[in-house]
Chain A
């Protein structure tokens, strides 16, 4: 990193979107100051840096704010290129489009089905959420096959954009499985490639150092239900 280059990340330890930004920073080997926000009492800095949404994560680079998790990850990849860790997005425009497509899918279909499952107001809604999550996971199973082409990650030999985007959800889906006592996600029987991906991704040092503690997440979910 160039001298005088300052990175700050405003976050909340329990947020999958913040986790994504931390995964990207971790995989790219970037140093930054992490600022834990109290979301019930948001700081002036957060409100000033993200006036439109007032949400975390916010990356502040030399005083300039960048908001929205996928945008932050792409920004880091573009600024720090291949000079800091591997490029998360591929070089070829078509492969980049595929990565962006699957990242958009994850934040559209998978996210909405996870929300329905965990925050559905009725049993029917939750059941519908489970059904849709299952369908999304099957679609992602095809995605991992297409993107990885037999290699360990969506990004190929190394972790890429889609790995980081999906990686942010790992603690959340593990939490849902833990609370429901089932193996809804990353079931080796139903989605073997994704299950194998989960093992590999989860065992990487750069991922382990930023993953939140499961017991704390369980406590957090109990507090908010």
Chain B
């Protein structure tokens, strides 16, 4: 492919304030040098555009490219990595199949064993809350060990797993404050703490990272809704 190639059609990203999932896609697009336009949704009042392009999940992010929609943040990140591949742009997933499998493994671990219980631990109550907190902390420990002195999960440069883990770098700290649930106590998970600082200071990441105070205000405004939704979800388990 020519190193001067421009995307054939404009790229739009349907997003909502504070979404770590949409943030993953923004970083991916920026890493690949793809210009894009943001369409910001009010998730309490979803647009026809969103419902038409993501009828299955009705959630953000949704990437619109050449009139076609791609949904699910990590599916979109892989799409961006492949569709906008150029010799001069960094790879988000490594080239080697074994390393790709390893990256996908850790992204899956982060999504299922870390982020899901983390969210639930913020808003659940009693025994369920304690269980989710324990599960999350165990996973944080595994991730801390996985970093083993590396700058990023991807090595020297940001990669797929760092994007999968982005929630832990900015959102977790804010949630801990708003929900009053401390998962990362002082001195715990030193490698993960160091990684979080590296992540949020990264030049590319900074461009699409939500402001800490704005994020806190956003979560605080919605916390009763989160609590009742999680209460329902826990009852169904």
For B98, give its contact among A75, A94, A101 (CB under 8 Å).
Answer: A75
A204 at the binding interface (Cβ < 8 Å)? no
B97 touches A93 (CB 8 A): no
Which has the most chain A C-beta neighbours within 10 Å: B72, B104, B105, B109? Answer: B105
For B104, give its contact among A71, A97, A125 (CB under 8 Å).
Answer: A71
| Residues of chain B contacted by A128 (CB below 8 angstroms) | 236
> How far is the CB of A91 from the nearest CB of chain B, in Å?
10
B101 at the binding interface (Cβ < 8 Å)? yes
| Residues of chain B contacted by A70 (CB below 8 angstroms) | 104
Query: What 1/0 flags go to A44-88 for Cβ under 8 Å of B?
Result: 000000001000000001001011101110110011000000000
B100 touches A97 (CB 8 A): no
A97 touches B56 (CB 8 A): no
| Residues of chain A contacted by B56 (CB below 8 angstroms) | 105, 139
In Å, the complex CA distance between A78 and B105 comes to 15
A145 at the binding interface (Cβ < 8 Å)? no
Question: Can you show 22 pairs from A to B with CB atoms below 8 A apart?
Answer: A52-B109, A52-B142, A61-B98, A66-B98, A66-B101, A68-B104, A71-B101, A71-B104, A71-B108, A72-B101, A74-B100, A93-B79, A94-B68, A94-B79, A96-B79, A96-B82, A97-B76, A97-B78, A97-B79, A100-B75, A104-B72, A128-B236
B70 touches A97 (CB 8 A): yes
B71 at the binding interface (Cβ < 8 Å)? yes
A68 touches B108 (CB 8 A): yes
A75 touches B100 (CB 8 A): yes
| Residues of chain A contacted by B105 (CB below 8 angstroms) | 66-68, 71
CB proximity to A under 8 Å, residues B55-86? 56, 65, 68, 70-72, 75-76, 78-79, 82-83
| Residues of chain A contacted by B101 (CB below 8 angstroms) | 66, 71-72, 74-75
Q: What is the interface residue range for chain A against chain B?
A: 20 to 34
In Å, the complex CA distance between A77 and B163 comes to 24
In Å, the complex CA distance between A79 and B98 comes to 9
Q: Which residue of B lies closest to A102 (CB)?
A: B56
B109 touches A101 (CB 8 A): no
In Å, the complex CA distance between A100 and B82 comes to 13
In Å, the complex CA distance between A105 and B56 comes to 9
> How far is the CB of B101 from the nearest CB of chain A, in Å?
4
How many chain B residues touch the partner (CB < 8 A)?
Answer: 22
A101 touches B83 (CB 8 A): no
Interface residues of A (CB under 8 A from B): 52, 61, 64, 66-68, 70-72, 74-75, 78-79, 93-94, 96-97, 100-101, 104-105, 125, 128, 139
A125 touches B83 (CB 8 A): no
B97 touches A75 (CB 8 A): yes
| Residues of chain A contacted by B79 (CB below 8 angstroms) | 93-94, 96-97
Q: Which residue of A lies closest to B97 (CB)?
A: A78
In Å, the complex CA distance between A100 and B236 comes to 28
| Residues of chain A contacted by B109 (CB below 8 angstroms) | 52
In Å, the complex CA distance between A125 and B68 comes to 37
CB proximity to A under 8 Å, residues B90-108? 97-98, 100-101, 104-105, 108
In Å, the complex CA distance between A71 and B104 comes to 7
| Residues of chain A contacted by B71 (CB below 8 angstroms) | 101
| Residues of chain A contacted by B83 (CB below 8 angstroms) | 93-94
| Residues of chain B contacted by A100 (CB below 8 angstroms) | 72, 75, 78
In Å, the complex CA distance between A97 and B83 comes to 10
CB proximity to A under 8 Å, residues B102-140? 104-105, 108-109
In Å, the complex CA distance between A91 and B79 comes to 12
| Residues of chain A contacted by B68 (CB below 8 angstroms) | 94
In Å, the complex CA distance between A101 and B56 comes to 10
For B72, give its contact among A64, A93, A96, A101 (CB under 8 Å).
Answer: A101
In Å, the complex CA distance between A61 and B101 comes to 12
> How far is the CB of A61 from the nearest CB of chain B, in Å?
8
> How far is the CB of B235 from the nearest CB of chain A, in Å?
10
| Residues of chain A contacted by B65 (CB below 8 angstroms) | 94
